[in-house]
Structure formats: structure tokens, C-alpha cells
Amino acid sequence: MSCLQPLEIKTCRKLRKLPQGLEHTSTLQRVHCSYFGKEFSGRVLDDAPPHLWRETRRDYHNQEWKRAAL
């Protein structure tokens, strides 16, 4: 995953959480999840230090985080 910059996950109803360690992928700049199941938790990025990631969108069908500017 050395070149992964945006990560977009769509219509993955069985997704319950993002992979642990995703917040440390240095090239990753944006994570967007849409149309996920009721049990989905973006906790990996929600719990990441705010100087690394910030949530930019949350509504019924979408959740998005962007890497904070260093």
C-alpha cells in the first residue's frame, strides 16, 4: 500500500470496521465510506490523534476523513 492515497469503500453492507493500522499509512490522504451497514464503525480514524486525521463528513450514508495538514 505504499502509493495508496484515496481509499473509497462503497456499498459494503457487511463492513463493520476499518482495518487497524490504516491510520498509520503515510501516503493515505483521504478515506471515504458510503452505504455501509448499521454496525459500521470508523473508530480506527475517529480515535486517531486529531493532528493526524479529522472527520470532514458524517451523515446517514457517508463518512469521510482527511489527513490533517502537517
**Within-domain flag for 47:** yes
The rounded percent of the chain whose pLDDT value lies above 70 is 96
Mean pLDDT on 38-64: 85
Q: Which residue has 459494503 as its cell numbers? A: 12
**Within-domain flag for 43:** yes
**Within-domain flag for 22:** yes
Helix (H), strand (E), coil (C) string for the chain:
CCCCCEEEEECCCCCCECCCCHHHCCCCCEEEEECCCCCCECHHHHCCCCCCEEEEEECCCEEEEEECCC
Better pLDDT: 33 or 69: 33
How many domains, the chain?
A: 1
Predicted model pTM: 0.81
Q: Does the pLDDT value for residue 70 go beyond 70? A: no
**Within-domain flag for 1:** no
Three cell numbers written together for 37: 451497514
Q: 11 near 34, Cβ under 8 Å?
A: yes
